[in-house]
Structure 1
Amino acid sequence: MTTTPNHAQVLPQRAGASIITGPWPSYVAFRGLPERERWVLYGSAKAYREALELQGFQMAESYDQFVRRVTAELEI
């Protein structure tokens, strides 16, 4: 039987929080979409990150790094 590696590494942090190190989804494949759809994807990515943070997760990638990466990948 082959096991699938867990790509979403979650490292324990003090006070019961967890740090999510990734890997995060890449949005490069969506560069060819019309600009409106790329902005919708950007909004969805931010909402997903916020939902995880509200559940107590802390991201290893800072918010500024996240925004720079996603906007560069979506070319917006």
Structure 2
Amino acid sequence: MTRPYTPQALQQHAGASIIAGPWPTYSQFKYLPERERWVLYGSAKDYRASLEAQGLAMAESYDEFIKRVTAELEI
């Protein structure tokens, strides 16, 4: 479940731009074989890490992100 954008919920981290979303949903892939769902999970984590390496901060915490993606992929 995605939370609505609220400026008060966002905090600036050392001058980083904050990405509030919307984030891609992965629930449409839950019917793929488990192996392919794990590959998508890894890709989602890599994509987030890449954005963070570029100095972008996510409004969704890492734990919330992991919880959401694993629930959507049913893994």
TM norm structure 1? 0.80
Unpaired runs of 5+ in structure 2? 1-9
**Aligned position for 1:56:** 55
Q: Residue type matched to 1:34 in 2? A: P
Distance 2:42 2:68 in 1: 14
Displaced runs of 4 or more, over 6 A: none
Whose strand proportion is higher, 1 or 2?
1
Higher relative contact order (CA 8 A, sep 6+): 2
Distance 1:14 1:59 in 2: 10
CA-atom RMSD in angstroms: 1.7
Whose radius of gyration is greater, 1 or 2?
1
TM norm structure 2? 0.82
Distance 2:62 2:74 in 1: 18
Unpaired runs of 5+ in structure 1? 1-10
**Aligned position for 2:22:** 23
What is the aligned length? Answer: 66
